[in-house]
Amino acid sequence: MLVSVIAGGAGFIGSNLLAFLAEENRQLVILDNLSRGREVYLDEIQNLYPDTVHFIKMDLSNHIHTLNAFEFAKTFGEIDEVWHLAANSDIPAGVNDPNIDLKDTFLTTFNLLEVMRNFKTLNFHFASSSAIYGDLGAAILHESIGPLLPISNYGAMKLASEALTSACTESYLNRANVFRFPNVVGIPATHGVILDFIHKLIENPNTLNVLGDGTQQKSYLHVSDLVAAMLKIRSQPIRSKINVVNIGPVDEGVSVQWIAEQVTKRISPFAKIEFGMGNKGWVGDVPRFTYSTEKLQSYGWKPNLNSAGAVIRAIDEIASQLGQ
Amino acid sequence: MLVSVIAGGAGFIGSNLLAFLAEENRQLVILDNLSRGREVYLDEIQNLYPDTVHFIKMDLSNHIHTLNAFEFAKTFGEIDEVWHLAANSDIPAGVNDPNIDLKDTFLTTFNLLEVMRNFKTLNFHFASSSAIYGDLGAAILHESIGPLLPISNYGAMKLASEALTSACTESYLNRANVFRFPNVVGIPATHGVILDFIHKLIENPNTLNVLGDGTQQKSYLHVSDLVAAMLKIRSQPIRSKINVVNIGPVDEGVSVQWIAEQVTKRISPFAKIEFGMGNKGWVGDVPRFTYSTEKLQSYGWKPNLNSAGAVIRAIDEIASQLGQ
């Protein structure tokens, strides 16, 4: 029996991926520190596949604990792949304290790759981020663009993780898929602009305060389309040991103002929206960028939802999740 | 009085830099773990400037020790700049044990940048490497090229350091100069192909065994030209908070075979040179690349020695250093 280790598998994206992996007749071992993830996100899949889905609460920045977790995973069969979806996803927190991104975003990668080498696990699927591009202005962000000058510690530690992954394909990995994620929306929501706005409106139904002037334009992908993209990339024949692929919608995105309006409409239609100054929400926030997904589309993938559709659906899903 | 902190300042490049910084009427505080550096390399400059040059043997991967070292440096005046030349320079060692590059190449950067933030030191001069480019085949390696897929842990941890530096220019640094170093030769030699060959020939004057088939072509810069380039870059007006500059000779380099022949000629003229297989010396070695130094030349810098001249001079210097 083949075993997949899913680091960060109890989080937003991991928990959405599990249903598809479980159908492959694999054993799934989920490692998560539950900083953002929740064990309850695993309930449905564990009920459906009680003999398949295994969970360890642990800290992947601890090398020994990671080794021990792989020993556990190995009892179910051959660990042939690792999905690395664990990271600090609170970008502003990482700007204030770089140790957070060092530990949760980079050292998780470092330990996983080290332990994979020990266990001869040769396939690595890594959730990187569009944040590695930094602010390249009006340039079209394709996978080969440079220079890579991230403007947040989060982006820096994702780029550091990519770099280490690349070096490992030279020394022992057979295959590394590096997924550069866009902004992803859906449930179970653990963070992000939609959840923030809904929380604010629940707290104060009369006013929604928005960081920045609302003109930040970003593209959003629904998590269902993201998971489909990762599996599509994983199913490609190996052309090179490392395959870096942007994942994102095909459109140019929507503005924060538009999202604020949609959330308000759904949660508290008479709330007043108040904007701040500047077109950056926080230090390390990239105001606007255009993301090339030509490579991914060349594999035959297309999103079912564009940015607007993904946001609308996610607002409804998250509102329901919060009982609104 | 202004204070420069020079991390790795007792090493090969650091010790060459000190003479120029000492002339600027600055206090110099050198931090070095002496893994490759030697206190004796500081003797000459300390004799010339006894009240200017201060040395602490310490491990920059230790956050508390780094903080303490800055407290010491601050007693001499305002720490306005840090030169970060500390790294593991043994690339094959880092391939075998990634913890070496994590600790000595990346965590040194992480700690320095963290402590600089605490001490409000706003100028950072960082010795990166052409290794961050990985193997881009025949492409001309200019500063904005991508993708950046390093093939050694050393290159990966240098790219990680660049990425973090970039993020810090967004949050607090006023200026970061990122020097992408070529292969540098000269004295005091602590590592590198020339030193290896001379050591081998001293041990066995009859035969020189060369890793790889000798066709690896690389460009080399003499350390005197390197130091001049760093100071030239530092003297430029600030155009952007982060300035990434390739440093290297203008020529296409020389082959390992040619270097082996020159070393043999100088050390043991009748030795037989025996080559291995393949055009990579070790995992993570990039066989051949063309390095653009147009940006640096636009500042008015030119090397005094080309690759061949730098190697010839360094062979003579290193041979003398070893009493040959």
CB contact under 8 A, B144 and A144: no
Does A298 reside within a domain? Answer: no
Assess if residue A297 is contained within a domain.
Answer: no
Q: Which residues of B touch A151 (CB under 8 A)?
A: 166-167, 170
Q: Which of A132, A152, A164 sits opposite B153 (nearest CB)?
A: A164
Residue B206 has phi, psi (to 5 degrees) of -90, -30
Residue A300 belongs to some domain of the structure:
no
Mind listing the pLDDT tens digit for each residue in A19-38? 999 999 899 999 999 999 99
> Are A163 and B157 an interchain contact pair (Cβ–Cβ within 8 Å)?
yes
Q: How far apart are CA B57 and CA B180, in angstroms?
A: 26
Distances (CA, A) of A241 to A77, A175, A226, A245, B72: 24, 5, 22, 13, 48
**B176 shares a domain with B276:** no
CATH number at residue A284: 3.90.25.10
Domain count, chain A: 2
* CB nearest A147 (choices: B110, B143, B149): B143
Size of interface A-B (CB pairs under 8 A): 121
Are A180 and A275 members of one domain?
no
pLDDT of residue B142: 96
Closest residue, chain A, to B101 (C-alpha): A164
Interchain CB distance below 8 Å, A143 and B148: no
The model's pLDDT over B54-92, given as tens digits with 9 standing for 90+, comes to: 999 999 999 999 999 999 999 999 999 999 999 998 878
Give the structural domain span for B209: 189-219+250-289+304-321
* B8 vs A: CB within 8 A: no
B-chain CB neighbours of A102 within 8 Å are 110
Distance CA B296, CA B179 (A): 10
Which residues share a beta bridge with B6? B30, B83
Residue with tokens 């990166």: B128
Out of B145, B156, B170, name the one closest to residue A166 (CB): B156
The verdict on B86 and B231 lying in the same domain is yes
A299 within some domain: no
Percentage of chain B modeled with pLDDT above 70: 97
Alpha carbons within 13 angstroms on the beta-carbon side of residue B184 total: 31
**B178–A contact, CB cutoff 8 A:** no
A146 contact B CB<8A? yes
Q: Is any Cβ of chain A less than 8 angstroms from the Cβ of B170?
A: yes
Q: pTM of the full predicted structure?
A: 0.93
Residue of B164, B245, B292 to mutate, interface with A, max A Cβ within 10 Å: B164
Please list the ranges in chain A whose pLDDT falls under 50.
Answer: none
Q: Are residues A133 and A277 in the same domain?
A: no
Residues A113 and A200 in one domain: no
Residue A20: CATH number of its domain: 3.40.50.720
Predicted local distance difference test score (pLDDT) of residue A218: 85
pLDDT of residue B289: 62
Task: Kindly state whether residues A204 and A151 are assigned to the same domain.
Answer: no
Could you give the CA distance from residue A69 to residue A95 in angstroms, rounded to a whole number?
A: 30
The answer to whether B167 contacts A145, with C-beta atoms less than 8 Å apart, is no
In which element (H, E) is residue B126 found?
strand B123-129
Degrees to nearest 5, angle at CA A87 with A100 and A74: 120
ipTM: 0.91
Q: CA-to-CA distance for A163 and B192, rounded, in angstroms?
A: 24
Say whether A283 and B170 touch across the interface (CB within 8 A): yes
Give me the DSSP letters along A146-165: ---B-SSHHHHHHHHHHHHH
**Domain assignment present for A175:** yes
pLDDT tens-place string over residues A292-305: 999 999 999 999 99
